[in-house]
Amino acid sequence: MKTITLNVSESVYEEYRQYAVKVERKASELIREAMELYRQQHMQRRTSLRDRRPVSVGGPIQAITAEDDLLGGMLDDARN
């Protein structure tokens, strides 16, 4: 395990210390758990788009015809 120096406000550390006493653990254990939780929620890659299943969002808003220019419509391009 790597030892690090971490600067926190005295009030935050005091809250950790008091809670650690209450739950009969060390403040350093609680801080390690908080860091691990942050890593899991914010730093780790969850899933790839390839892992996602398609979801239906309903049908088209309006029907398209063979004459419709989809690219032009997406680009707001008036092609006639």
> Residue ranges per domain, the chain?
7-31
Residue carrying the six token digits 């969002």: 57
pTM: 0.53
Quote the pLDDT of residue 53: 83
pLDDT tens digits, one per residue of 8-37: 999 999 999 999 999 999 999 999 999 999
The whole-angstrom separation of Cα 60 and Cα 6 is 54
* Coil vs helix vs strand at 26: coil
pLDDT tens digits, one per residue of 36-61: 999 988 887 777 778 778 888 888 78
Quote the pLDDT of residue 77: 54
Taking 70 as the threshold, does the pLDDT of residue 80 lie above it? no
